[in-house]
Amino acid sequence: MKIKFGVVVFPGANCDHDAYYALKKILGFDTEFLWHKDSDLKGSNVILLPGGFSYGDYLRTGAIARFSPIMDEVIKFADGGGIVIGICNGFQILLETGLLPGVMQKNINLKFICKDVYLRVENKNTLFTKLVDKDVIKIPIAHGEGNYYADEKTLNELEKNKQVVFRYSDVNGNVTPETNPNGSLNNIAGIINKDGNVLGMMPHPERACDTALSRTDGALIFKSIAESFYK
C-alpha cells in the first residue's frame, strides 16, 4: 500500500515546509499540503500538524488553529482511527482539540529554547516507534511554550497506560531535572492517545531526517508510521 502524508498549513506556521521536505524529498513519501480553510484531507493516510506559530499564538498556542475548518476533518479522521502526528505547535493544537489530554505552559525559564535534546524512548510498542532500534534518540527542540502540564489523575493515567512515548533525558537515558529543558511534568516530551493513533511531541523529528545534517533519528518515527501500512 502506498502511504500518503497530508501536512496542514496554518497561517503563521513555519515548519510545514520542513516537514514536507523531510517526508517527500528525503524519505520519498507521497506528501501533499492541506490548507487550513479546506475540509478535504485529499486521501491522506497520515495527517501531520506542523510546528510554528499558528495564528501568531494569539490567545494561547493552538487555540485559534483548533477552530480552522480543516481541524473538524482531522478530528473526525482521528476519532475514526486515522493516524495523526502533531509536532511542537501541532502538539499544542492537539491538546486544544482534546485529542490529547493536558495543556502547555510557558517554559519554566520564560525563554524560547532552541537546541538538540536527548529523548528516552519510553514505549517502543507504538506505531510511531516500532522501528526505533535505540533507547535514546537525539532530536532538536524549538519552542517557548513546551512545559507540559496535566492534573494528577491524568498524569497517573498516562503513565499507567504507557501513553508517555518520549521523555527528556541525557545521552545515557537518565531522566533528571537537569535534562528537562522546559519544566514539563515527569520530563514528558511526547504522548499518545489511549487508542495509540495520535501522537503529540514537542521535539522536531522532521529536522532530524537528513544525513547532511548528521541527524537521522527523526526519520525512524516517520518510517515506523509507514511500516504500519506495509503489513
The catalytic position among 73, 96, 122, 206 is 206
Q: Which residues contact 25 (CB under 8 A, 6 or more apart)?
A: none
Structure confidence at residue 231 (pLDDT): 60
Measured distance CA(200)–CA(71) in Å, rounded = 15
Report helix, strand and coil shares of the chain as percent, to nearest 5. 30, 25, 40
Which triple of cell numbers denotes residue 164? 508517555
Asked if residue 230 has pLDDT above 90, the reply is no
Q: What is the pTM of this model?
A: 0.95
Q: Which positions ≥6 away from 2 have C-beta within 8 Å?
A: 30
Catalytic residue among 15, 36, 73, 88: 88
CA dist., res. 6 & res. 170, Å (int): 33
Residue 34 domain boundaries: 4-227
Active site residue 114: no
Cα distance between residue 209 and residue 212, in whole Å: 9
pLDDT at 1: 67
Q: Residue 131 has what DSSP assignment?
A: T
Question: What 3-state DSSP class applies to 166?
Answer: strand
The predicted pLDDT at position 41 comes to 97
Percent of the chain with pLDDT over 70: 99
Distance (Å, whole) CA 163 – CA 13: 27
Show the DSSP H helices in 31-84 as ranges.
69-79
Say how many domains are in the chain.
1
pLDDT in tens, 63-101: 888 889 999 999 999 999 999 999 999 999 999 999 999
- Give the contacts of 80 (CB within 8 A, at least 6 positions apart): none
Q: Are 122 and 167 in contact (CB under 8 A)?
A: yes
Confidence check: pLDDT of 104 > 80:
yes
pLDDT > 90 fraction of the chain, expressed in percent and rounded: 90
Contact 5, 82 (CB under 8 A): no
pLDDT at position 120 over 90? yes
Question: What span, in angstroms and rounded, lies between the C-alpha atoms of 159 and 163?
Answer: 6
pLDDT digit string, tens, across residues 159-188: 999 999 999 999 999 999 999 999 999 999
Note if 204 is an active site residue: yes
Active-site residue, from 15, 122, 204, 209: 204
- CATH number reported for the structural domain that contains residue 62 in this entry: 3.40.50.880
Grade residue 113 by pLDDT with cuts at 50, 70 and 90: very high
Residues 25 and 17 sit within 8 Å (Cβ to Cβ): no
For β-strands 83-87 and 46-49, DSSP reports them as: parallel
- Arithmetic mean of pLDDT, 107-131: 97
